[in-house]
Amino acid sequence: MRKVSLDRARAGYRVARTILSLDGVVLLSAGTVLTDEMIATLESYNFTEIYIEDDLSRDIKNPEVVREEIVTEVKAKIKNIMTSPSIRISVDGKKILEIVDKLLGNILQSDQIVLNISDIRSIDDYTFSHSVNVCILSLIIGIAMGVKGDNLKDLGTGALLHDVGKVMVSEDILLKPSCLSKNEFEEAKRHTAYGYEILRNSSSINTAVQEIALYHHERLDGSGYPYGLKNSEIPLYARIVAVADVYDALTTDRVYRKKMLPHEVVDYMYSLSNKHFDRSVLDAFTKHVAHFPIGTAVLLNTGEKGLVSRYNPQFPNRPVIRIVMDEAGKMLVNHKEVDLSKRLEYRIIDIWDI
C-alpha cells in the first residue's frame, strides 16, 4: 500500500483503503479498480490523495493507532456538534467526553503508539478532521509525558474543542484563498476568546479545558496571542495542543496553500524549539509520530529509491525501506529491505513521486 496524489492516479490503479465521505458514505471500497469517472468523482469531493495497492507496495500495511471506522464515526459526530446552531452558545461536555473516551480507549489498546496521520480527507472537511487529529495527537503526547486519568481526558476534550471559537468567525475569513487583511487577521485571532466564552457557558467543561481554547496560540517567547504569555505562564495542556495543532495544520492541504511533508514540519518545528514550542513537548511528540509515514516514496543518499515499509519505534526518523529502484534508475525485479536503524551508512535525503 502506498499513498499517491490524486492528480497522479490513473485508471487501472487498485484502491488500497476504503474512501468515505465525512458523512460515512462509501465513495470507493478497498479493492476497487479505478476508472477515470471515479477519479473525477473524488476530485469533485476535493480529495487530494488516495492509497493504492501495486506490485511495489504489496504487503506494506499501515498500522492504525485508532481504527479507521472509529475515526470516521468520531468525525461525523464532531461535524454534527460543530454545525448545530447551539454551538455558538455552548457545548454538551458529556457528549464530547464520550468521544474522547472512545479515542483514548483505542489508543491505549495499541501495542506501540507510533502515529501515522494517514487518513484520506477532503479539503472541505478540514475543520472536523483537524479537530479529531489534534485530539489524537495531543492524547499521544500526553501519554508520552505521563499525563493520566481525568487529566488526560481534560487534555483530549480541550484538544477536540480547541478551535470551537471559529464558529463565530466568518467563513469568508477562514476560507479566504489569499492573505488576510490586518482587520481580518485580528478577527480570526479572536477565535481563541470566542472559544473560551463558549466553553465557559458549557456544562461539564472545566477550567483546564477552557484554557486550551484560550491559550493554544500562545508562544514561549511571548510572540503568540491573545495575551503574549511566556514559558510556564502558558498551561502545559495548551503547549501540547499548540504542537499538535501546528503539525496537523501544516501537513494538510488547504484552499490557500499546499501541505508540507511530515519530516519537513518536524524540522521546522524544532527550528522554533523553546521559541514557539516547548522542547519537552516536541521531544515527546517526535518519538511517537512517524517522520516518514509508511508507504512514502523516498530517495536515499546512495541514489537508490524505495518505499517506507515499516516503522522503527525507537528510531522514528530511521524506518525500514523497501528499495525498488537502483542508483541507475532501473526498477528492481527483486526488492530488498534495508533497516536504516541498523545500516547507518544509509540516509533519506528526499521524497520522490513514483
Catalytic residue among 166, 182, 336, 342: 166
> Which among 245, 71, 225, 222 is positioned nearest to 158, based on CA atoms?
245
The contacts of residue 69 (CB under 8 Å, 6+ apart) are none
The contacts of residue 351 (CB under 8 Å, 6+ apart) are 261, 296, 297, 298, 299
Residues 297, 353 contacting (CB under 8 angstroms) = yes
The span from the CA of 88 to the CA of 7, in Å, is 38
The span from the CA of 38 to the CA of 44, in Å, is 10
What secondary structure letter does DSSP report for 158?
Answer: H
Residues 159, 139 contacting (CB under 8 angstroms) = yes
> Which among 211, 218, 239, 46 is positioned nearest to 141, based on CA atoms?
239
The span from the CA of 122 to the CA of 285, in Å, is 25
Q: Is 57 helix (H, G, I), strand (E, B) or coil?
A: coil
The contacts of residue 25 (CB under 8 Å, 6+ apart) are none
**Active-site residue flag, 166:** yes
The span from the CA of 311 to the CA of 198, in Å, is 41
C-alpha cell at position 279: 522542547
Annotated catalytic residues are 166
